[in-house]
């Protein structure tokens, strides 16, 4: 019964944004300059209210609490420019990250497959809120035509141009996939971590290089769940009520961002930095899992 109630409340919250989102989206499409920026600000308020209400639903039904740990968390700014990295175990990760950082930093956006813009309501909301949509070639397409990889990178760079000179927060899951038992078993021999999957540095290197003159800091999040193999369904059922989120804010000059766009996809210094961050995350999660 609790799951059904949660589902209905989350759905009602999603439906509640329709009366304001669509008129504002149309306003944004037909206006320019300061009038369009005014519409953008109102749309951001709608997005932030939707995120806040989702968290309120979880607190009301199950008393869900997130313990946020990290001094840098207090110094985040709503007008900052941030790149966010995080371990990825469940679809609930995005919900948790949004809840923890909502109204602390600019509305969090993440790269979305171009085809998802046609998803009812959510797809339109992502479009209205300027989420970056990218067309990515499949593995089969890349095998037939390797030059498509260059085109994919150009698409990412083009998308990044819209964020230059404005407050932004971009989330990047470097592991690329959720950490499921099946995927862990499949990648066992190639994975040096106990609690994480091997991260990929190419994407974040390209994006960081494209935005290198705008970035204030990198926000490194580590979500530590109280159970193994959590799912979003577990969260909706109330099986996950408390968890820890470790936050480390790293000033942009301390991150080895590649200056040359040509070298960014294969940047060795960014790969070393990412590998170091993942080793620290893995050790932190292992320590948290030990009996107190």
Average pLDDT over residues 211-219: 92
pTM of the model: 0.88
Collapsing DSSP to helix, strand or coil, 229 comes out as coil
Q: Which CATH class is domain 65-289?
A: alpha beta
Domain positions in the chain are 65-289
- What digits encode the pLDDT tens for the residues 142-201? 456 655 455 656 666 777 777 777 899 999 989 866 565 555 555 556 778 888 888 988
Give the CB-side neighbour count of residue 60, counting CA atoms within 13 A: 10
Mean pLDDT of the chain: 85
Do residues 191 and 279 lie in contact, with contact meaning Cβ atoms separated by under 8 Å?
no
CA angle 104/114/214 to nearest 5° reads 40
Q: Name 190's Cβ contacts closer than 8 Å, sequence gap at least 6.
A: 198
Q: Write phi, then psi, for 119 (nearest 5 degrees).
A: -65, 130
How far is residue 267's CA from residue 89's CA, in Å, rounded to a whole number? 26
Largest CA distance in the chain: 58
Do residues 88 and 264 lie in contact, with contact meaning Cβ atoms separated by under 8 Å?
no
What local confidence, expressed as pLDDT, does residue 197 receive?
Answer: 87
């Amino acid at each position: 019964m609790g799951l059904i109630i949660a589902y209905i409340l989350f759905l009602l919250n999603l439906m509640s944004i329709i009366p304001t989102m669509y008129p504002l989206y149309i306003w944004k499409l037909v206006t320019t300059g300061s009038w369009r920026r005014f519409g953008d600000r109102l749309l951001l308020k709608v997005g932030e209210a939707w995120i806040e209400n989702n968290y309120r639903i979880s607190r009301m039904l199950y008393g869900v609490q997130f313990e946020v740990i990290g001094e840098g968390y207090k110094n985040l700014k709503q007008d900052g420019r941030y790149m966010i990295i995080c371990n990825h175990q469940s679809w609930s990760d995005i919900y948790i990250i949004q809840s923890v950082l909502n109204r602390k930093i600019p509305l969090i956006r993440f790269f979305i497959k171009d085809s998802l813009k046609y998803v009812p309501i959510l797809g339109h909301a992502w479009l209205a809120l300027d989420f970056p949509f990218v067309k990515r070639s499949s593995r089969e397409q890349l095998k037939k035509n390797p030059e498509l990889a260059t085109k994919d990178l150009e698409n990412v760079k083009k998308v990044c141009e819209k964020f230059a000179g404005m407050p932004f927060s971009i989330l990047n899951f470097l592991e690329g996939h959720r950490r499921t038992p099946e995927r862990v078993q499949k990648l066992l021999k190639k994975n040096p971590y106990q609690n994480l999957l091997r991260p990929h540095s190419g994407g974040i290197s390209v994006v960081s290089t494209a935005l290198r003159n705008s970035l204030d800091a990198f926000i490194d999040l580590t979500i530590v769940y109280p159970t193994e193999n959590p799912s979003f369904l577990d969260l909706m059922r109330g099986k996950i009520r408390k968890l820890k989120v470790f936050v480390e804010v790293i000033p942009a000059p301390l991150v080895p961002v590649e200056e040359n766009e040509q070298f960014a996809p294969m940047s060795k210094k960014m790969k070393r930095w990412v590998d170091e961050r993942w080793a620290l995350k893995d050790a932190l999660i292992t320590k948290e899992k030990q009996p107190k």
